């Protein structure tokens, strides 16, 4: 019985995706672990990272389809660039619609997740407070109050002074995120294989 690490995500519209891919490519000059690309390392905003049995993927897709059909496309407002552990992110305002979407996805999928991702088992050993509670309840730490919507542009080999990188105005990355996606995860939180995607608001 195979089990894979998965990520349920919001996918940006083509305009925002292309800007993210272009900037990610420019940043390779500083030394990076990965570069965003359509069909390889997809630009995305994570909603829920979890371990799933391959045999449960059809049911997971059914549940995500129901959620996607029931909500309108999400508009994400980019708030700032953020760097932590060498990751460079576009951080988004946590709107009520984003928070509600995460709540719906977690409620639907947490009961059928397959334990925890290997990396989260290790991270849980160092967690405290609400992060530890989230690991215990949901298998992932950034749920609910700790949820931080963001789009990761790359991960540097070493920390960079992002004030010196001549990054575009942050509002370049605001826009619609009209698709809910299910992906297999690779290293560094990357989405390496698309399993399914669902247009938001099909029944609206």
Q: What is the pTM for the complete model shown? A: 0.94
pLDDT at 163: 87
Alpha helices in the chain (DSSP H): 14-26, 57-70, 96-109, 118-124, 129-138
For the chain, list the domains and their CATH numbers.
3-199 (3.90.1140.10)
pLDDT at 204: 44
Q: Which sign, positive or negative, has the C-alpha torsion 28, 29, 30, 33?
A: positive
For each of the chain's 204 residues, which pLDDT tens digit applies? 599 999 999 999 999 999 999 999 999 999 999 999 988 899 999 999 999 999 999 999 999 999 999 998 899 999 999 999 999 999 999 999 999 999 999 999 999 999 998 889 999 999 999 999 999 999 999 999 999 999 999 999 999 998 888 899 999 999 999 999 999 999 998 999 999 999 998 544
Taking the C-alpha atoms of residue 186 and residue 49, their distance in angstroms, rounded to an integer, is: 11
Percent helix, percent strand, percent coil in the chain, to nearest 5: 40, 30, 30
């Amino acid at each position: 019985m195979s089990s894979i690490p998965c990520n349920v995500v919001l996918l940006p519209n083509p305009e925002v995706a292309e800007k993210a891919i272009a900037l990610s490519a420019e940043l390779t000059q500083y030394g990076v672990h990965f570069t965003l690309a359509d069909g390889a390392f997809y630009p995305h905003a994570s909603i829920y990272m979890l371990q799933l049995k391959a045999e449960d993927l059809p049911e997971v897709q059914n549940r995500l389809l129901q959620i996607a059909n029931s909500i309108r496309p999400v508009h994400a407002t980019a708030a700032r660039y953020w760097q932590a552990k060498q990751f460079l992110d576009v951080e988004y305002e946590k709107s009520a619609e984003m928070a509600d979407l995460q709540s719906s996805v977690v409620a639907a999928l947490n009961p059928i997740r397959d334990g925890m991702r290997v990396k989260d088992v290790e991270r849980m050993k160092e967690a405290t407070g609400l992060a530890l509670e989230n690991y215990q309840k949901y298998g992932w730490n950034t749920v609910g109050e700790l949820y931080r919507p963001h789009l990761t542009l790359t991960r540097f080999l070493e920390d960079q002074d992002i004030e010196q990188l001549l990054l575009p105005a942050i509002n370049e990355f605001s826009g619609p995120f009209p698709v809910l996606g299910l992906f297999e995860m690779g290293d560094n939180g990357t989405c390496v294989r698309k399993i399914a995607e669902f247009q938001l608001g099909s029944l609206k």
